[in-house]
């Protein structure tokens, strides 16, 4: 006879599987539709393709004039990697300085960070757009990368984590003659790696999915990121070709999945540490 505990476990696993399937259904539909022929994708009578084909992917990478997907992916990699590195480096050094150094007006600066997190990001878009337009940087990589340096939430997150970080190791290294930068590089950074990876992934995801700001500062096809390029592709003449649009979406989703699979254990560890605090 099955025990009550085992029955509850089976029911829980079944319910969790159903919920997971519901969340994964759009992704599954996207992948299968990308391998369908045009007529099959328009009728959509079945989830699985009647005949599997790679024509949508071939067409996607063949038409480089109206949809330079490889160029869009290259732009996106450049913007997201550079922007994430910029935000993490600026935020880490700023948070460490606030946490360890005798900075004048530290309380007011920390209070300003809290208030800064309360300001909606959309409020800052048009002043930023006006500034970049005045200095002639529209349709360049600079407006897509430079605003990433102002990571108020990341600075405050790392600062609060360092507040509870033991200083004994840092003090011992300082007595041995290590400089502040060496202490930061060899002692602090390895200890807060899960936090940095977590915040880095969140920043990467935000930059990768950024549409509104990209649409304001970029209007040339060759300078578009993959999110903006997909929107252009979808709203163009391909709106009656679901298979091609799904293929483009699969190509756009793959980099994020690969980054998540790589950083998954660090992300979980980072959230766990912040929860224990």
Q: What is the pLDDT of residues 2-52, one digit of tens each?
A: 677 788 888 898 998 889 888 888 888 899 999 988 888 887 677 888 889
Is 194:269 a contact under the CB 8 Å cutoff? yes
Residue 220 has pLDDT above 60, yes or no: yes
Q: What is the DSSP string of the chain?
A: ---HHHHHHHHHHHHHHHHHHHHHHHHHHHHHHHTS-HHHHHH---SS-SS---HHHHHHHH-TTT--HHHHHHHHHHHHHHHHHHHHHHHHHHHHHHHHS--TTHHHHHHHHHHHHTS-HHHHHHHHHHHHHHTT-TTSSHHHHGGGG--HHHHHHHHHHHHTS--HHHHHHHHTT--HHHHIIIIIHHHTHHHHHHHHHHHHHHHHT--HHHHHH--SGGG--HHHHHHHHHHTTTTT-HHHHHHHHHHHHHHHHHHHHHHHHHHHHHHHHHHH-
Task: List pLDDT tens digits, range 130-182.
Answer: 999 999 999 999 999 999 887 888 898 888 888 888 888 888 888 888 888 88
The structural domains of the chain, ordered by start, are 70-225 (1.10.3720.10)
Q: Residue 239's pLDDT is what?
A: 62
The encoded tokens of residue 252 equal: 């756009």
pTM here?
0.82
């Amino acid at each position: 006879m099955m025990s009550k505990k085992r029955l509850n476990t089976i029911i829980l696993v079944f319910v969790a599987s159903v919920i997971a399937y519901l969340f994964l259904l759009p992704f599954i539909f996207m992948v299968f539709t990308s391998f369908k022929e045009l007529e099959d994708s328009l009728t959509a009578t079945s989830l699985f393709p009647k005949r599997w084909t790679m024509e949508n992917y071939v067409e996607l990478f063949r038409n480089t004039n109206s949809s330079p997907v490889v160029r869009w992916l290259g732009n996106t990699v450049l913007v997201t990697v550079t922007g994430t590195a910029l935000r993490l480096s600026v935020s880490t050094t700023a948070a460490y300085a606030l946490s360890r150094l005798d900075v004048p007006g530290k309380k007011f600066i920390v209070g300003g960070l809290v208030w800064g997190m309360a300001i909606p990001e959309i409020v800052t878009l048009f002043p930023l757009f006006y500034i970049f337009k005045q200095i002639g940087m529209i349709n360049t990589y600079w407006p897509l990368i430079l605003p990433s340096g102002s990571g108020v939430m990341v600075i405050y997150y790392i600062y609060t984590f360092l507040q509870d970080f033991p200083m004994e190791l840092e003090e011992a290294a300082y007595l041995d003659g290590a400089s502040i930068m060496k202490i930061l590089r060899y002692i602090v950074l390895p200890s807060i790696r899960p936090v940095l990876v977590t915040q880095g992934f969140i920043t990467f995801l935000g930059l990768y999915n950024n549409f509104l700001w990209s649409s304001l500062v970029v209007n040339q096809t060759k300078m578009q990121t993959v999110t903006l390029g997909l929107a252009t592709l979808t709203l163009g003449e391909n709106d009656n070709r679901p298979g091609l649009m799904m293929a483009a979406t699969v190509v756009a989703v793959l980099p994020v999945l690969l980054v998540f699979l790589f950083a998954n254990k660090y992300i979980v560890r980072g959230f766990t540490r912040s929860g224990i605090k």
